[in-house]
Structure 1
Amino acid sequence: MTSVRHIPDSRDAYLDAARACILDVGWRRTTLTEVARRAGVSRMTIYRTWPDMKTLLGDLMTREWTAVVAARPPGDDLPATVVATVRALRGNELFVRIVELDPELLLPYLLARRGRSQDLVLDLLVDRIEQGQATGEVRSGDPLAIARALVLGAHGFVLSAHTMVDDRVSEADLDTELAALVTRALAP
């Protein structure tokens, strides 16, 4: 499979069409035929690129979440970067639509395996943790294990924060607590 980071422009247009379909009707009601129609190409063009909707969705989610993560400024301190990324994912239009209509699509990435986007996040976190360890700003320890623990913790803040928000605790309050958790987890 071609790396998502090297998708030709036509594939981006097809992914844009798939994104629009999913936003309109959800993943279950989106077909490769409808993606082809919206992209203005033949069904065979789409079928030659993706054998099924699951594969197309994997590439779409990887492109989408990679863009969200890449948009975080590398100069920010790590806790602020984690909170900003979590907040951006929670507000991402495609992510919100999937959670609303087809949340089961996310279960494999929570219960069975890591996805490409999660691996990208881990790579970025490991780099930042190693940099922090080199300057003494981050505690010693296996950078990969620390990064994986941070991602596991962030999952709840991305997927379930809304279940903890009410008239006593706001989403901003939870983000403040996430920053405190990350800060304490990394403190030397």
Structure 2
Amino acid sequence: MNPRLSAFIKISMFVMVLSLTACSGTAEPPASPEISTPANEEATAPETDNEQAPEVTRPQSENFELMTGEGNQSLPATLHQGNGFSLYVFEKFAFDADKGRLFLSGNPEYEVTIEALPANYDLTQLKTEGNKELEERGEVSDFSGELVEHPLGSAELYLQASGSEGINDYMVWKSETGAAFLFRLHNPKGEEASDFAGPVLVSLSTVKSDS
């Protein structure tokens, strides 16, 4: 064999041995690059055989169509977290998470309280309690099942009392996921009445249970 060719083969084999030795070493592999999820991108966990994937995170802000004094407008609302639920809140409104209270920032008398109901709630008992509460505010009307185009048209119970001090509503409403909530709304007579009613009803229609 040609001496030069023999030397070349020996050198090549030596290099291959070094390469194999390096590959079989105990050095730790390089760390995988960390992948961050964009703020506006929704992420879900992989689904397993015995466990359903958790619900995707709600966007931090959404636009909703509202009828205003200037016509139909698309207005932004921000996601707020309550006690076991979340909802979207428009500008000029504030939300007290501890009390589940949504109100007009400039006049807190315009308010609604939100209460999550247990799965075994008694609708008949709630109706009795609602009538008793509202009787003190004025004549009580039952609009349950009649509010077809209303933001809360799917309400199981919709009682309303109208009196000299304004309008009071007592509503049992179910979200798309089947969770039930009790809304107590107070809309006094005044200049802010129309500014309160439209946005607050849309906000209530976005209430969603965390579980």
* Greater fraction helix: 1
* Greater fraction strand: 2
Give the greater-gyration-radius structure (CA). 2
Higher RCO (CA 8 Å, separation ≥ 6 residues): 1
